[in-house]
Structure 1
Amino acid sequence: MAPRIFWKGYLKLSLVTCPVAMMPATSADEKVRFHTLNRATKNRVVSRYVDSETGKVVDEDEEAKGYERGEGDFIVLEDEELDAVALESTRTIDIEKFVSRDSIDWIWFDKPHYLTPNDPVGEEAFSVIRDAMKAADMVGISRLVMYRRERAVLLEPREKGIVLWTLRYGEEVRPADAYFEGIGKVKLEPSMMKLAETFIAENTRKWSPDVADDPVQEKLLEIIAAKKKGRKKPVKEKTEVPAPSSNVINIMDALRKSVAAAKKNKK
């Protein structure tokens, strides 16, 4: 199946412009999804908005957006007022500046998308923009209206294409210092560090997408397949997870045992 195009527009670097198409780099289509049913009739249950005071169903044309300025006190914003502040998408990704990829912390990255040329005639211009960023070892920064809001985006050359990341808004990112500043400095024994490093070395592997598989989804699909055939797959009883021991653990002993087990498994 051909990838579904999510957005069409233009990629621009100064006077160099080319038509591009964008597709989400991730998908939730394969995720097992459930509908809520009436157990007795097996009919789907639908959700509807109701008035919190009267309990009456609110029709769609009677719904409005409200900003709460106090408890139970709302300011109603009409659709035309919301449209008035909506930014017009120019359908153009105009690269405004360039920064080092390493200068942007991971926490700013939101959603990845694949950007490709949308016209064979524009492939040369696309390649110039992509390869120029690659040669300079830089990523481009632009702004674009996506998901109904204007947001900063980052463009990173990747193989034959470009990966476009939406970046989080400033108010969404919390500084790590507020959470980590209470962690004290601990002087570690060199022998303890050596054992920990040995354990890491024994368990170092090449990255594989299999690591990110969802075993819960696989088990759900097995149950669904069994039900399709008219039989019930036996469900394992829940096992109690033992609580961590409250005794003080000898870290050196624990590390030695961990390294020994890792070496044994590797063999």
Structure 2
Amino acid sequence: MAPRNFWKGYLKLSLVTCPVAMTPATSDREKVRFHSLNRETGNRVRSQYVDGETGKPIRDGDEVKGYPTGEDQYIVMEENELDAVALESTHTIDIETFVPRDSIGWIWHDKPYYVTPDDKVGEEAFSVIRDAMRTTDMVGISRVVLFRRERAVMLEPCGKGILAWTLRYGDEVREAKDYFQEIDRDKPDQKLMRLVKKLIEERTKDWDPSMVEDPVQDKLLEIIEAKKKKKPAKAKKGSARAEPQETPSNVVSIMDALKKSVESEKGKRKTKS
């Protein structure tokens, strides 16, 4: 069952407008979560805001947002003042410009959302915008207000719909060159390159979601299920925590190591077949 839409508004390109809905493309609902309990009573522990100076609990309605201007000095912002900062992008994704798809590095991508037409009448306009981007290999850049903050978004075709990626703010992305500039070697030995390419070839597989499964999550669910049945959880073969390996003290020839690695991969493939 598809989750509920959490944002509804309009997708706009010049004079073309269509109603759309937006839904998060990822979810962490299936993750194991724990509540804090009182061990003696088994009751849940409740969090409560208290005054940082007096230690007294804060009553409902007395908690406000404050912008720091100095040590222990704040400008108080009321809810109606925050709501007043309403922008057109609160309800409209207006595509301002288009850029080549491969011109935006993955590091700018923040969170993905599925965008779908919100009524049958708007499907034609939605489909034209989607397919035009697909044909030209372009993505749309727009802005939208989410959680009271305006975010830049990248829109790209995704099957029958559109995938909207919120983009990180400019001050959030660090320059790679600041970290990589001291790496001297940029053209490795070609013989070594051929061996590494061989290793890559031996280990190449089709992408499968099982490659990013969470073994810790699976084990936690086993323990929880065993506790439900009041049975001790059985340890899986090979599930014990691996001992940290010692760092080799001797210098190994990269060429020899790669040759052995390639031979090892070939042996594994023969065993499987």
TM-score above 0.5: yes
- Deviation of residue 86 (structure 1)? 4.6
Does structure 2 conserve the Cα–Cα contact (< 8 Å) formed by 1:86 and 1:149? no
Which consecutive residues of structure 1, in runs of 5 or more, have no partner in the other structure? Answer: none
After TM superposition, the structure 1 stretch with the greater mean CA deviation from structure 2, 68-77 or 87-96, is: 68-77
Post-superposition Cα deviations, 1:183-206, rounded to whole Å, max 9, x if no partner, equal 222663322222111111100111
Matched residue, 2:14 = 14
Deviations 1:121-150 (A, max 9, x none): 221111111111112211111111112211
Structure 1 counterpart of 2:48: 48
Name the CA shift for 1:201/1:175 in 2 (closer, same or farther; >3 Å). same
Unaligned runs of 5+ in 2: none
Displacement of 1:47 in angstroms is 1.3
- SS in structure 2 opposite 1:121? coil
Q: How far, CA to CA, are the matches of 1:186 and 1:166 in structure 2? A: 33
| 37 and 187 in structure 1: CA distance in 2 versus 1, 3 angstrom threshold | same
Alignment match, 1:126: 126
Return the alpha-carbon distance in structure 2 between the equivalents of residues 7 and 120 of structure 1: 18
Which residue of 2 is the match for residue 210 of structure 1? 210
* Contact 1:8–1:22 (CA under 8 A) maintained in structure 2: yes
CA drift of 1:90 comes to: 4.7
CA contact (8 A) 1:10 1:93 kept: yes
Tell me the distance in 2 between the aligned counterparts of 1:128 and 1:195.
47
State the partner residue of 1:245: 248
TM-score, normalised on structure 1?
0.92
Q: Whole-Å Cα distance in 1 between the matches of residues 14 and 77 of structure 2? A: 39
> Counterpart amino acid of 1:116?
T
Give 1:85-96 correspondences, 5 Å limit: 85-87=85-87, 89-96=89-96
Where do 4+ consecutive residues of structure 1 move more than 6 Å? Answer: none
Q: Name the structure 2 match of 1:161.
A: 161
- Checking the alignment, whether the CA contact within 8 Å between 1:99 and 1:139 is kept in structure 2 is yes
SS of equivalent residue, structure 1 residue 82: helix
CA distance in 2, matches of 1:26, 1:205: 24
Structure 2-normalised TM-score? 0.90
Matches within 5 A, 1:1-267: 1-87=1-87, 89-185=89-185, 188-234=188-234, 238-267=241-270
Residue type matched to 2:261 in 1?
S
Residue by residue over 1:194-227, the C-alpha shift from the partner in whole angstroms, topping out at 9 and shown as x without a partner, is 2111111100111111111111111111111111
Going from structure 1 to structure 2, the CA distance change for 1:79 and 1:210 (only over 3 Å counts) comes to: same
Contact 1:117 1:123 in 2 (8 A): yes
Moved more, 25-34 or 6-15: 6-15
Contact 2:9 2:91 in 1 (8 A): yes
Q: What is the CA-CA distance between 1:171 and the residue it aligns to? A: 1.3
Whole-Å Cα distance in 2 between the matches of residues 131 and 90 of structure 1?
25
Partner SS, residue 139 of structure 1: strand
State the one-letter code of the partner of 2:224. Answer: I
Q: For residues 104 and 237 of structure 1, do their structure 2 counterparts lie closer, same or farther at Cα, with a shift above 3 Å needed?
A: closer
Inter-partner Cα distance in structure 1 for 2:5 and 2:143: 19
- CA shift, 1:97, in A, is 0.9
1:72-115 CA deviation, whole Å, 9 max, x = no partner? 44443343443443535451211111110111111111111111
Percent identity, aligned pairs only?
63
